[in-house]
Each structure stands twice: as C-alpha cells, then as structure tokens.
Amino acid sequence: MVKTLRKNGHNLAKTVWFLGLLAFAAPAAAAWAILNIGRHEGCPPGAAACSRLPELGVFFKHALDISWLLSMNAMVLIPLALLVALAAILARSPARAFIGVFAGPTAALLLPVLVVMSAIYPGCNVNEGGGSCTFWGVAMGDSFTTASIAPWMVYIIPPVGFAAAMVVMAVAYIVKRQRA
C-alpha cells in the first residue's frame, strides 16, 4: 500500500512539474499559434485588420500581454518556479529541478521576444522608447515594446535562475539520497 502511494505521489509530482513547466511556455505558444493561424488564413503581418478573422489582433495582443505578465513579473514568475522546484524535489529528480528552475523562466522570457520579432513588418519599429505598431488592426503598445526591453533581462533572469537551479538541484539530490 505504501509503495503504491509513493508511486502515485511520484507520478503526481511529475505531472505537476510538467504542467508548471508548460505554464512557462503556454502564453507565448498561444501567441505563436495565433500568429500562424493568421498567416494560414491569408492575413499578412501588418497594420490592416485581418478581414477573415477580425478579432485575431485582439487575441494576439492578449496572448502577448499574458506572456509578458508571466516573464516580467516576479510575483508570478517566482511562485511558479518554486512550484516546479517543489514538484521536482517530491519526484526526487535533480535533473527536473534544474530544468524547471532554469529553463522555465528563461523560456518564459525569450519565447515572447521571438514571437514579436517574427511578427514585425516594415514600418513597425520596436524599441525601448515605445513604438506605434498596429498589428492586425490593434495598437500593440507595450505588447511589442516589451520585446525590446526583455533582452536586457537576459542579464538577470538566466544567471539568477542558474544559481537557484543549482541550489534546488542540490536539495533534490539530498532528498533523493535520503529517501533511497
């Protein structure tokens, strides 16, 4: 009975770890999917509204806003990273602990930048001073300009994430050795 509970708890921890890691990338993946849906429907990136799917620009902006909320807000990013770390520790997996705490926040920071850079069209200037890009009929505002600020965060989030991941990995290794 105890082995069954441990095994089921182990699987639950792995599932929580996977879902937490997925939460880091999901908003940017949604924005990427919306961008590709628009391209597939014949809506080229630009200021003109998509005639076939007029609300696509709004969905794209909201997906980017959620991506930036996750990656640029420590009050959201840190608890999610801690949840992923705790799940990896409970799963007794030092490698998962490292991947979750380092790769998750780094991906949450860089994926929206890649989405924005792939959506830029001639005449849309993305810079720190604020741009006036309109994408599919919607003024993007900070949804695009944050992509020019985010690369500066690469000097903060990955190094801190790496240090935190090393600590969490050490704790997960200790827990794994004690329970083995």
**pLDDT per residue as tens digits for the range 18-58:** 888 889 889 999 999 999 998 888 888 888 887 777 888 89
Kindly indicate the confidence band of residue 131, based on its pLDDT and cuts at 50, 70 and 90.
Answer: low
Residue among 118, 100, 138 nearest 29 (CA): 118
- The pLDDT score that the predictor gives to residue 159 is 85
- The pLDDT score that the predictor gives to residue 5 is 41
Kindly indicate the confidence band of residue 2, based on its pLDDT and cuts at 50, 70 and 90.
Answer: very low
Q: Which of 7-16, 85-94, 102-111 has the lowest mean pLDDT?
A: 7-16
Phi, psi (rounded to 5 degrees) for 138: -120, 130
Q: How far apart are CA 124 and CA 91, in angstroms?
A: 46
Mean pLDDT of 125-141: 79
Is residue 50 within 8 Å of 136, Cβ to Cβ?
A: yes
- Angle, helices 56-72 vs 104-119, to 10°: value is 150
Mean pLDDT of 163-169: 83
Model confidence, pTM: 0.79
Does 6 score more than 70 pLDDT?
no
Is residue 115 within 8 Å of 38, Cβ to Cβ?
A: no
